[in-house]
Chains A and B, each alone.
Chain A
């Protein structure tokens, strides 16, 4: 029955990036099939509209994590779980490792890909919060070549991204985390492991000629139609309460929650501000902790292990036991 076949997207399994790009260029309504977790769910729910699925699992090189001059280059097919466990990621971008470890559950993280997670463009996802704070860039490739889009410009609206027709995410470039003062807070409103209802990543970066000031960078998840980024300058001598106040005021400007079964607008706004305060407080604690100067590749233990989520403190430290 031909009508039936039309409904099921045709699967393509090309072996090279060039073939992928060619398929994306020529097919009617293609969709990239990465880890496949989100696509399969949408297919089952009958809300995925695509004529063809282009599976990129066979393309060599997309599953590599490379150390570069600026930091990391992470292939689109690297799984979320590798971001969580890979020693290079944990050394160069511990905030990213910490945040990737918080997505869904281990099975999803074993399958879902870094590229697919971004391309999905869901406003609730955890990883964008860290990538925004870390100023990552997304590599987009098409038959016409490759371009780099700052992740801060990648999310353009509700489930919308800067991906153009014929393009796919091929990698994410993450600069080396410039400071150990980073933290992530994720709050759910139903069961503990529910989708996030509010999440915030915070990173304090020393600035100024004598590094006398801080730049506070924040990525927010689940609090607006898309992941949101904001940053503010913090004077060196500021007290924590002042920093929290400023962060909260800034966040309040961008928080614009979508009401759903997890809560209404006012509740989500309130919870969002708590996530912001929790993340900033935890990052600040690390920033003011006296330690030897933090240089590339020597982020102290505490930065990796701190997790400000009040519900799950200590539950994500499985590597400590080794």
Chain B
């Protein structure tokens, strides 16, 4: 069966016809969000991560019909001056880059919940994302740097 749903991706609302079985991954790619990618198809690698209402989801295991009206975020739709993106670039937190958008979104989710995570807390949050190139240290450093940057901004505001 095919249903018309309203997908809200990165603040842009659009009507999309989706089949009951269509996965969110397929639908997002179909409408151009190729930052969302398949890596394993079983929710184990994190390359297909999107944020739904701010919470990370493996879009390869999510049916699109369930996300009617739910605000979705993909890495390609982050603001131009996104702080997590900037810190990833500064920390050289990428090699082949295929998995990195997923890590960026996981970083956003973590920092929204826990503004000052320890290294161990960062690692715990990223345990389900695989970077086969082995860029983990740079990725953790980028998330740490974002936390510090936000902390400094808060202090400036309150000063």
A→B interface (CB under 8 Å): 8, 10-11, 13, 36-37, 40-41, 44, 55, 57, 81, 85, 104-108, 110-111, 192-193, 312, 314-319, 321-322
Contact = CB atoms under 8 A, between A and B. Distances in A.
Contacts of B43: 37, 41, 104-105, 107-108
Interface in B97-129: 106, 109-110, 113-114, 116-118, 120-121, 123-125, 127-129
Interface in B48-77: 49, 55-58, 61-63, 65-66
A315 B124 contact: yes
Contacts of B44: 105
Contacts of B46: 105, 107
B125 A107 contact: no
A321 B114 contact: yes
Residue in A8, A81, A192, A321 with the greatest tally of chain B CB atoms within 10 Å:
A321
B82 interface: no
Tell me what chain B mostly uses at the interface: helix, strand, loop, or mixed. Answer: mixed
Contact of B128 (A41, A85, A107, A317): A107
B96 to A, nearest CB: 20
A119 B146 CA distance: 40
B121 A36 contact: no
A193 B42 contact: no
B39 interface: no
A312 B42 CA distance: 24
Nearest to B122: A318
Contact of A321 (B121, B123, B127): B121
Residue in B41, B43, B65, B123 with the greatest tally of chain A CB atoms within 10 Å:
B43
Given A44-B41, A104-B128, A11 B58 contact: no
Given A105-B44, A107-B46, 16 more contacts: A8-B21, A10-B20, A11-B63, A11-B65, A37-B43, A41-B42, A105-B43, A105-B46, A105-B127, A106-B128, A107-B43, A107-B58, A107-B128, A111-B61, A315-B121, A321-B118
A316 B121 CA distance: 6
Given A41-B43, A44-B41, A315-B120, A108 B58 contact: yes
25 contacts: A8-B21, A10-B1, A11-B1, A36-B61, A44-B42, A55-B66, A85-B113, A104-B43, A105-B46, A106-B56, A106-B106, A106-B109, A107-B43, A108-B128, A111-B57, A111-B61, A111-B62, A193-B127, A312-B124, A318-B125, A321-B114, A321-B117, A321-B118, A321-B121, A322-B114
Contacts of B63: 11, 36, 40
A317 B1 contact: no
Contacts of A106: 56, 106, 109, 125, 128
Contacts of A10: 1, 20
A104 B57 CA distance: 13
Nearest to B58: A107
A193 B136 CA distance: 15
A297 B97 CA distance: 47
A55 B3 CA distance: 15
Contacts of A105: 43-44, 46, 127-129
Contacts of A8: 21
A35 B149 CA distance: 36
Contacts of A37: 43, 58, 61
Contact of A318 (B21, B65, B113): B113
B117 A318 contact: yes
A10 to B, nearest CB: 8
A321 B1 CA distance: 47
A87 to B, nearest CB: 13
Contacts of A312: 124
B56 A107 contact: yes
B110 to A, nearest CB: 8
Contacts of B65: 11, 13
Contacts of B110: 318
Interface string B24-42: 0000000000000000011
Nearest to B147: A321
A315 B110 CA distance: 14
Given A44-B41, A106-B128, A111-B62, A318 B20 contact: no
B56 A318 contact: no
